[in-house]
Amino acid sequence: MKEEVVVHGVVLSEHSQREFDKRLSILTMEEGKMTVWASGAKRPSSPLMAGSRSFVFGTFSLKKGKSGYNLQSVKVDAYFEEIALDLEKACYAAYFLELADFVSQENLPAEEMVNLIYLSLKALLHKDLKNELVRAIYELRLLELEGEYTEQPPLSTKKAVMEAWSYVLSSPLNKLYTFRLEEGTLLDFCGNVEMLCRESFPMQFHSLKILKSLKQ
């Protein structure tokens, strides 16, 4: 009997395979990053269609086959369809998934990373939070998860920046997005995080290129 697996996570990316199939990259709490084949998911009548899209969080039932895992069913918990209504927010959200796809690994449980992505996407939809702050908080906490962070900001000694830095590194995930920064402090905070990201994530992310073009 072929092995059946139930995992909880988020679809990081989707790629077309043949006429009606998809290849998914799913970040799961239990097994880390998994490549999953969704047969017939592009057919309008397929029960897999809604649950095999990027940004979908849910419970994924898989069956192990000869060439990998095949998606059997999805119980969707969240779609985050609202993000697509705002092009700038959509770029930030796509970057969050791209970055998670870049750093995550197979067979390495990723419960905290999955929860971080979920809370960060929710924060993007919060009207009182600046997208730049959400991005910087997400990046710094991800750096902490990867062991690539510094205890103090590498470029700044401003008290407000140091306090924000310490707060992001030490707070429970559900408390991350509960503060604001004044414009000057925000720029300083983001600049410090960006420096660490350039050193730790040496990759050109497609979503950031689009975001840069939008702001020009």
Per-residue pLDDT tens over the stretch 70-84? 999 999 999 999 998
Beta strands (DSSP E) in 66-191 are: 68-78
Go through 89-111 and write b for each residue having 16 or more CB atoms within 10 A of its CB, e for each that does not: bbbbbbbbbbbbeebbeeeeebe
Distance from C-alpha of 121 to C-alpha of 144, rounded to nearest angstrom: 19
Distance from C-alpha of 18 to C-alpha of 20, rounded to nearest angstrom: 6
Mind listing the pLDDT tens digit for each residue in 43-57? 999 999 999 999 999
> What number is the average pLDDT over the span 131-159?
95
Give the pLDDT of residue 60: 98
Of the pLDDT bands very low, low, confident and very high (cuts 50, 70, 90), residue 1 is very low
Go through 54-83 and write b for each residue having 16 or more CB atoms within 10 A of its CB, e for each that does not: bbbbbebebeeeeeebbbbebeeeeebeeb
Query: What are the DSSP calls for 160-216, one per residue?
Result: HHHHHHHHHHHS-GGGTT-----HHHHHHHHHHHHHHHHHH-----HHHHHHHHHH-
Distance from C-alpha of 161 to C-alpha of 178, rounded to nearest angstrom: 15
At 74 the three-state DSSP class reads: strand
Distance from C-alpha of 211 to C-alpha of 159, rounded to nearest angstrom: 30
